[in-house]
């Protein structure tokens, strides 16, 4: 775990992620400017740090209703505005970028942040960016696998010799600068199905598992499949961190939390994905056995501890700001995390 | 209420004739419903390449978005080679897995032989069920002999289409009322 800058003795890490979505607030129908949204995201990271949160990450989406296409640039502003919190992408679409340039960016980010940068590589759920950036979507799988392998090769070796299908070969190429400790924690984004998790497992890469809703036990199967695949690939699962990431919202009661969050998720998903989130499924989100962490602070503490006992994961990452969530609600959530949720989670998961 | 009448084939005229009959009944009996006729013979629809339906433009974008915005869909389909035509299957492939959630779907099937009667039950309904449609269980099955010079000449067929349209509208209203009540009960 040391290689990935995770100390299990300190208990479950608590993180925040934003997709960098730029959506109207459904209560008012109004949308803040992209400039304001980016300023808000930087402030969000600062406030998360002040609340004692361990990790903050920003996504890359090249489509309407998103503002952090240049997520590495946003992350570097966050690096400068914070001191202690770990910062990462969630995720970097490696398929449509040059791994050399991505590595240069994130190694530089690591230097700016004094060793706090991590990279999560993903494959994109919407595929408009292939055309935008000049790639053929028919190579969706191959592009990711080749570029992700190259990225990891660059991470492990300062001088690289490589050739592949989608990029000019590298001959004794030095990819510089190097990160503070020589390499970065690089994770693979996984969609929640066992098949997707096994790809990360075979390669012995840490898994960042994003999820919507559903029974926590369903996702346990994905995590088991990941660790089994890691073992089969000759890796030690005990050395490979697992992160889970999904919707989070705390309020005085679970009913209040549902009320404040639901319109943002439902309307936001309609605009970004073309289908809303059914109320019936969302209502089940407050059940103690559901993986969505929605409820009162005490209910959320119990849910996260239940998930931790089941998954044995190293990091939980909360998404609070989707769908034009006002900053005031985000701040209230950070306060509840900092004063009630985080202390309880650390108390019960840290080794004394 | 938004209703899409979808004629699912580029070949022949029987399916379109039957769908036209349904659209006429809709216009006459339910003028408040907003009905859109989509005849796939009039559109150049691409084959699905796996992208989100929002990412298609042109005819493909128009057809998929119009279907996604509907409350009810009356699907007209011929039977080719003992199955639904590729044009119709492609529409299903273009849409998200839960595309028909909270939608009512009914079926008008035209066929050159009575041997095709069970194709809708065995092949079309499982697709619609998988995509979460509320189905009008009784579909209208029309044979070659019921048409003459692009008109339906069997009054029984016209009665059956009339009942299908009524069932489609009534079920759509009913399900939307149930849903409204249920969603209100959630109180969030």
- Three-state SS string across A118-141, please? EEEEECCCCCHHHHHHCCCHHHHH
Q: What percent of chain A has pLDDT over 70?
A: 100
| DSSP designation for A105 | H
Q: What percent of chain B has pLDDT over 90?
A: 98
Looking at residue A33, its pLDDT comes to 98
Instruction: Find chain A residues with C-beta within 8 A of B46's C-beta.
Output: none
The answer to whether residues B4 and B68 touch, using CB atoms and an 8 Å cutoff, is no
Looking at residue A299, its pLDDT comes to 98
Looking at residue A127, its pLDDT comes to 87
* pLDDT(B175) > 90: yes
- The verdict on A174 touching B (C-beta cutoff 8 Å) is no
* pLDDT(A88) > 80: yes
Helix, strand, or coil (residue B144): helix
The answer to whether residues A279 and A262 touch, using CB atoms and an 8 Å cutoff, is yes
Q: With cut-offs at 50, 70 and 90, classify the pLDDT of residue B16.
A: very high
Instruction: Find chain B residues with C-beta within 8 A of A282's C-beta.
Output: 188
The CA R_g of chain B, rounded to the nearest whole Å, is 16
Answer yes or no: do A279 and B186 touch at CB < 8 A: yes
Residues facing A121 on adjacent strands: A92, A188
The answer to whether residues B8 and B91 touch, using CB atoms and an 8 Å cutoff, is yes
Q: Which of A141, A68, A123, A51 is nearest to A333 (CA)?
A: A51
DSSP class per residue in A258-284: HHHHHHHHHHHHHHHHSS---HHHHHG
Structure tokens, B164: 């299908």
Looking at residue A168, its pLDDT comes to 96
Answer yes or no: do A274 and B182 touch at CB < 8 A: no
Distance from CA of A273 to the nearest CA of B (A): 7
Q: Give the burial string for A296-333 (b: 16+ CB within 10 Å, else e).
A: bbebbbebbeebbeebebbbbbbbbbbbbbbeebbebb
- The verdict on A292 touching B (C-beta cutoff 8 Å) is no
Looking at this predicted complex, what is its ipTM? Answer: 0.88
Looking at residue B69, its pLDDT comes to 97
For residue B45, with 0-12 CB atoms within 10 Å meaning exposed, 13-18 middle and 19 or more buried, which class applies?
Answer: buried
Answer yes or no: do A258 and B50 touch at CB < 8 A: no
User: Model confidence over A51-82: pLDDT tens digits?
Assistant: 999 999 999 999 999 999 999 999 999 999 99
* pLDDT(B133) > 80: yes
Q: Which of B96, B178, B188 to mutate to test the interface with A (most CBs of A within 10 A)?
A: B188
Q: What's the rounded Cα separation, in Å, for the pair A99 and A340?
A: 41
| B6 φ, ψ (degrees, to nearest 5) | -110, 115
* pLDDT(A352) > 80: no
Of A126, A259, A274, the CB nearest to B188: A259
Looking at residue A44, its pLDDT comes to 98
Answer yes or no: do B51 and A283 touch at CB < 8 A: no
| A316 φ, ψ (degrees, to nearest 5) | -115, 135
User: Model confidence over A13-53: pLDDT tens digits?
Assistant: 999 999 999 999 999 999 999 999 999 999 999 999 999 99
* pLDDT(A192) > 90: no
Average pLDDT over chain B, rounded to an integer: 97
Which residues neighbour B55 within 8 Å (Cβ) at sequence distance 6 or greater? A126, A127, A128
Answer yes or no: do A273 and B52 touch at CB < 8 A: yes
Distance from CA of B183 to the nearest CA of A (A): 7
User: Model confidence over A220-273: pLDDT tens digits?
Assistant: 999 999 999 999 999 999 999 999 999 999 999 999 999 999 999 999 999 999
Instruction: Find chain B residues with C-beta within 8 A of A259's C-beta.
Output: 187-188
Q: How far is CA A277 from CA A128, A261, A265, A266, A269, in A?
A: 22, 11, 7, 5, 7
Instruction: Find chain B residues with C-beta within 8 A of A262's C-beta.
Output: 188
Of B50, B51, B183, the CB nearest to A279: B183
Which stretch of DSSP H or E encloses residue B134?
strand B134-135
Of A128, A140, A274, the CB nearest to B96: A274
- The verdict on A137 touching B (C-beta cutoff 8 Å) is yes
Answer yes or no: do A274 and B50 touch at CB < 8 A: no
Average pLDDT over chain A, rounded to an integer: 97
CA A87 remoteness from chain centre: 10
* pLDDT(A329) > 90: yes
Looking at residue A126, its pLDDT comes to 86
The mean per-residue pLDDT over the stretch A185-199 comes to: 93
User: Model confidence over B72-96: pLDDT tens digits?
Assistant: 999 999 999 999 999 999 999 999 9
Please count the residue pairs, one from chain A and one from chain B, whose beta carbons lie less than 8 angstroms apart. Answer: 46
User: Model confidence over A264-312: pLDDT tens digits?
Assistant: 999 999 999 999 999 999 999 999 999 999 999 999 999 999 999 999 9
Strand duo A159-162 + A170-174: pairing: antiparallel
């Amino acid at each position: 775990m040391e290689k990935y800058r995770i100390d299990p003795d300190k208990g479950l890490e608590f993180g925040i992620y934003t997709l960098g979505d730029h959506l109207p607030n459904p209560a008012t129908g109004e949308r803040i400017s992209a400039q304001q949204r980016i300023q808000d995201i930087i402030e969000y990271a600062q406030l998360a740090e002040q609340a004692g949160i361990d990790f903050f990450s920003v996504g890359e989406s090249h489509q309407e209703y998103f503002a952090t296409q240049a997520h590495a640039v946003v992350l570097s502003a966050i690096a400068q505005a914070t001191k202690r919190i770990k910062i990462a992408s969630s995720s970097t679409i490696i398929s449509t970028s040059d791994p050399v340039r991505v590595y240069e960016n994130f190694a530089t980010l690591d230097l700016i942040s004094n060793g706090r940068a991590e990279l999560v590589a993903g494959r994109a759920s919407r595929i408009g960016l292939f055309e935008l950036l000049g790639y053929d979507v028919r190579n969706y799988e191959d592009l990711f696998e080749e570029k992700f392998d190259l990225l990891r090769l660059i991470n492990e070796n300062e001088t690289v010799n490589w050739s592949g299908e989608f990029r000019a070969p590298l001959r004794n190429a030095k990819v510089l600068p190097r990160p503070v400790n020589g390499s970065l924690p690089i994770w693979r984004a996984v969609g929640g199905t066992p098949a997707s998790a096994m790809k990360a497992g075979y390669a012995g890469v840490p898994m960042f598992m994003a999820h919507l809703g559903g029974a926590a036990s369903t996702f346990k199967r994905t995590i088991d499949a990941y660790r089994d695949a890691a073992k089969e690939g000759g890796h030690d699962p005990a050395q490979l961190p697992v992160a889970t990431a999904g919707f989070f919202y705390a309020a005085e009661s679970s009913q209040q939390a549902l009320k404040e969050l639901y319109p943002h998720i439902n309307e936001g998903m309609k605009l970004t994905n073309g289908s809303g989130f059914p109320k019936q499924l969302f209502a089940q989100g407050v059940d103690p056995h559901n993986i969505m962490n929605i409820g009162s602070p005490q209910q959320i503490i119990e849910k996260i501890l239940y998930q931790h006992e089941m998954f044995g994961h190293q990091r939980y990452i909360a998404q609070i700001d989707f769908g034009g969530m006002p900053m005031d609600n985000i701040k209230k959530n950070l306060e509840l995390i900092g004063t009630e949720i985080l202390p309880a989670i650390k108390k019960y998961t840290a080794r004394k | 209420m938004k209703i899409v009448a979808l004629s699912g084939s580029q070949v022949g005229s029987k399916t379109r004739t039957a769908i036209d009959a349904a659209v006429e009944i809709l216009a006459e009996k339910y003028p408040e419903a907003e009905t859109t006729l989509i005849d796939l013979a009039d559109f150049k629809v691409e084959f699905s390449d796996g992208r989100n339906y929002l990412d298609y433009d042109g005819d493909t974008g128009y057809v998929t978005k119009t279907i996604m915005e509907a409350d009810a869909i009356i699907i007209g389909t011929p039977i080719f080679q003992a199955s639904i035509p590729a044009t119709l299957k492609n529409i299903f492939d273009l849409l998200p897995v839960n595309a028909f959630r909270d939608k009512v779907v009914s079926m008008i099937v035209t066929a050159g032989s009575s041997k095709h009667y069970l194709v809708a039950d065995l092949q079309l309904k499982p697709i619609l069920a998988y995509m979460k449609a509320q189905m009008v269980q009784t579909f209208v099955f029309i044979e070659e002999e019921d048409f003459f010079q692009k008109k339906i000449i069997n009054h029984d067929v016209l009665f059956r289409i009339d009942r299908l349209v009524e069932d489609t509208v009534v079920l759509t209203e009913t399900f939307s009322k149930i849903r409204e009540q249920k969603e209100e009960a959630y109180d969030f």
